Amino acid sequence: MAELKYEIIKTIATLSESPKGWKKELNLVSWNGRDPKYDIRDWAPDHEKMGKGVTLSSEDVKNLKDALKQMEEF
């Protein structure tokens, strides 16, 4: 398997933390030198290991934000 390269450009929020110190974070991440995208996933305390996650474009984030606002209205 090819090496996965990533750079966390900006940590936006920590959403939760497990007893073992892993944190679910919303970050802006550049994967394999590409333009940064928004990313939600679990990270080990040293950011050397990661869990499965989801990567979102700016448009995806806008649509998610709109959907969450609608939920708050209920």
pLDDT of residue 13: 98
Give the tens place of pLDDT for each residue, 21-31. 999 999 999 99
pLDDT at 1 > cutoff 80? no
Percent helix, strand, coil in the chain, to 5, is: 20, 45, 30
Please report, for the chain, the start and end positions of each structural domain, with discontinuous segments joined by +: 6-72
Architecture of domain 6-72: Roll (2.30)
Looking at 15-19, 34-38, 69-73, which range is the least confident one? 69-73
